[in-house]
């Protein structure tokens, strides 16, 4: 059994450090990202089981850099390949994650840090693993805020996490009283991490239905939900808007996130044509997210 990971590391000096990981995510790389705030630089590491794939990723990314710089202002200082022991990887990213206060009552805590919640506070323990979803990204944070805002609203109980990643949204929904819960992701590594995070948060296996499945496949036999969180790339949301419509019950709510500012109005118009009403929108840096209600 190979105990090594073959890694492609990208040193990102862009002024907007959230753009590059989103672009890389479109190619479905297993990756992790973190920022050195003092040096104003971010690092994105892609993980592979074979050295040839790491080298191919390096060459592919280098070929894209001129267009990314022109179109998105990406500034990459270096792209390099290196080898890491799998046992070392688990400790590499821990120092880059901190406790996050989403609201007065919702707190996101990496499982290895200590935190004493105040009365009434809900704490979500999360280990992100290689999958997206720690609460630090603007789009994830918006989804968490909307889940907190809608918790306890009359008629808002059932919850679907479409593209669940680490499972952070589902855990927050569970702790804020949503039920029943359902979550899915196309990436088996993501659902594996999600299942581990559910266990860390003492969620019984029967409390959430977790599936490894793509959006198209999931929608074939899916029901409708009071609240759907879809933290997915804007292009995927747009292409599958009719399927997503059917996931939300009439009068139910939909959060769309993972959308670049310049994409949001097109996406908003497309969903409003289907009968959604935009109730709240929020922009941070290059990202815009929205809370919609279905007529």
pLDDT digits (tens, 9 = 90+) for 116-163: 999 999 999 987 554 455 556 667 888 999 999 999 999 999 999 999
Predicted model pTM: 0.72
Q: Quick one: pLDDT at residue 257?
A: 87
Mean residue pLDDT of the chain comes to: 88
Region 20-33 average pLDDT: 83
Cα–Cα nearest to 152, from 178, 182, 122, 118: 178
Full set of structural domains in the chain with CATH: 4-92 (3.30.70.260), 97-294 (3.40.50.150)
Lowest pLDDT segment from 36-45, 139-148, 160-169: 36-45
Q: Where are the beta strands (DSSP E) in the chain?
A: 4-12, 31-36, 41-48, 76-85, 100-101, 106-110, 122-126, 159-162, 181-185, 208-212, 225-231, 248-260, 276-284, 287-294
- Distances from the Cα of 230 to the Cα of 123, 163, 227, 263, angstroms: 22, 7, 10, 15
Q: How confident is the model over 203-230, as a mean pLDDT? A: 92
User: Could you tell me whether strands 122-126 and 106-110 are parallel, antiparallel, or unpaired per DSSP bridges?
Assistant: parallel
Q: Given this model, what pLDDT does residue 130 score?
A: 46
Q: Within 10 Å of residue 174's Cβ, how many Cβ atoms?
A: 22
Average pLDDT over residues 279-295: 90
The length of the chain, given as a count of residues: 295
Peptide bond into 36 cis (omega under 30): no
Q: Are 127 and 110 in contact, with CB atoms under 8 Å apart?
A: yes
Whether 16 shows a pLDDT value over 60: the answer reads: yes
User: Is pLDDT at 27 greater than 90 in this prediction?
Assistant: no
Percent of the chain past pLDDT 70, that is, above it, reads 90
pLDDT of residue 210: 97
Q: Which helix (H) or strand (E) holds 24?
A: helix 19-25
Of 12-26, 140-154, 280-294, the one with minimum mean pLDDT is: 12-26
What is the structure's pLDDT at 98? 75
Query: pLDDT value at position 178?
Result: 97
């Amino acid at each position: 059994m190979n105990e090594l990971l073959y890694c492609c590391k990208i040193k990102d000096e862009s002024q907007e450090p959230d753009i590059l990981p989103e672009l890389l995510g479109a190619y479905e790389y297993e990756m992790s990202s973190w920022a050195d705030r003092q040096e104003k630089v971010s690092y994105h590491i892609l993980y592979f089981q074979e050295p040839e794939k790491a080298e191919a990723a390096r060459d592919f990314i280098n070929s894209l850099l001129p267009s990314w710089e022109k179109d998105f202002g990406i500034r990459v200082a270096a792209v390099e390949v290196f080898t890491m022991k799998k046992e070392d990887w688990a400790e590499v990213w821990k120092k880059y994650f901190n406790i996050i206060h989403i609201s007065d009552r919702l707190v996101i805590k990496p499982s290895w840090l200590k935190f004493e919640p105040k009365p009434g506070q809900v704490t979500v323990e999360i280990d992100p693993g290689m999958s997206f979803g720690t609460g630090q990204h603007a789009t994830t944070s918006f989804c968490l805020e909307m889940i907190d805002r809608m918790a306890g609203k009359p008629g808002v109980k059932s919850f679907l996490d479409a593209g669940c990643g680490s499972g952070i949204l589902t855990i927050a929904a569970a702790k804020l009283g949503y039920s029943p819960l359902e979550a899915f992701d196309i990436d088996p590594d993501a659902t594996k991490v999600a299942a581990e995070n559910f266990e860390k948060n003492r969620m019984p296996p029967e409390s959430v239905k977790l599936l490894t499945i793509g959006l198209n496949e999931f929608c074939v036999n899916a029901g409708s939900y009071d609240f759907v969180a879809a933290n997915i790339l804007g292009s995927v949301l747009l292409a599958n808007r009719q399927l997503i419509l059917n996931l939300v019950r009439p009068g139910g709510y939909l959060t769309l996130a993972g959308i670049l500012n310049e994409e949001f109005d097109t996406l908003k118009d497309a969903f409003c044509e289907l009968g959604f009403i935009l109730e709240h929108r929020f922009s941070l840096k290059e990202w815009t997210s929205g809370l919609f209600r279905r007529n």
